[in-house]
Amino acid sequence: MWRIVLLLAVVVVLIVLVPRLLSRSATPSEGSNAPDFTLPSQEGSSVSLKDYRGKWVVLYFYPKDQTPGCSREAHNFQVDQPKYAERNAVVLGVSLDSVDSHKKFCAKEGLNFKLLADTDHKVTDSYGSLTNLGLVKFAARHTFLIDPTGKVAKAYTSVDPAKHSAEVLAELDLLQKSGAVKR
């Protein structure tokens, strides 16, 4: 009897999870062109990656507005805004939440950088960050450091929200000191 239950469990996993995991787009590799996009921000204005040519862009994907890990990560990026400005860098957050959800999240957390609403999931998927668990879809916690020419300088696919902003700032310093791309 237990063999039948085990066999059924394996079949369910194979039928449900494997196709979803295989359907995820590949994460852009370091050195490749960052996929361009245009998405609405919490302010209702359209934001395009190409608008930031000449600047470093911290493009971070996160699962859900107003959840503990996402709030902590956003708060740390907010506190570090002056440090990003010193490094000619901007922070853009992306989730599948709506513009209205982002607006409320920014008001509650005191965020003044742009959060982008990817409600059709296309941008999140193009960055290999869309997680699909059956009826539930969300953005995986990934970050892409994009250089001023529009190339992916660093991809983070394992992120600790409590330490991530400091980690990104340290990488920015290394890249800028090495002269990888001039500010």
Q: Taking residues 154-181, what's their average pLDDT?
A: 91
Instruction: Determine, yes or no, domain membership for 183.
Output: no
Cβ contacts of 123 within 8 Å, gap of 6 or more: 35, 37, 39, 94, 116
Of the candidates 49, 57, 70, 146, the residue annotated as catalytic is 70
Which is more confidently placed, 13 or 66?
A: 66
Number of domains in the chain: 1
Q: Is 106 a catalytic residue?
A: no
Tens digit of each residue's pLDDT (9 = 90 or more) over 105-129: 999 999 999 999 999 999 999 999 9
What is the CATH number for 154?
3.40.30.10
Instruction: Determine, yes or no, domain membership for 141.
Output: yes
Q: How confident is the model at residue 11 (pLDDT cuts 50, 70, 90)?
A: low
> pLDDT at position 5, please?
65
Q: Taking residues 7-21, what's their average pLDDT?
A: 54
- Quote the pTM value: 0.85
Does residue 61 carry a pLDDT above 80? yes
Query: Which percentage of the chain shows pLDDT scores above 90?
Result: 76
Instruction: Determine, yes or no, domain membership for 37.
Output: yes
3-state secondary structure of 124: helix
Instruction: Determine, yes or no, domain membership for 20.
Output: yes
Does residue 144 carry a pLDDT above 90? yes
Instruction: Determine, yes or no, domain membership for 35.
Output: yes
Range of the domain at 22: 2-178
Instruction: Determine, yes or no, domain membership for 83.
Output: yes
> pLDDT at position 92, please?
98
